A = this chain, B = another copy of it.
Amino acid sequence: MKLSARNQLNGKITNVEKGAVMANVKIEITEPGVITAAITKESAEKLGLSEGDDVTAIIKSTEVIIGK
């Protein structure tokens, strides 16, 4: 099955911590790759984003799905 999700980073689990309902999983990414961000055009313009800019891709941990 191929996924529509643009970002698929390969890595190795370094830690699994379980609570009653949720679990926190640490994955050491071994190949950097490319991240695609779909943001509003308004944001892209307000930040003046353009090729070559140094930026940070910020992702909340609740948004990450794990494939194994």
Instruction: Give the interface of A toward B (CB within 8 A).
Output: 1-44, 46-68
Contacts and interface: CB of A to CB of B under 8 A. Distances in A.
Nearest to A9: B57
Contacts of A25: 36-39, 44, 49
Contacts of A2: 46-47, 67-68
Contacts of A30: 32
Contact of A44 (B1, B4, B9, B62): B4
Nearest to A36: B61
A31 B68 CA distance: 23
Contact of A59 (B15, B41, B64): B64
A55 B66 contact: yes
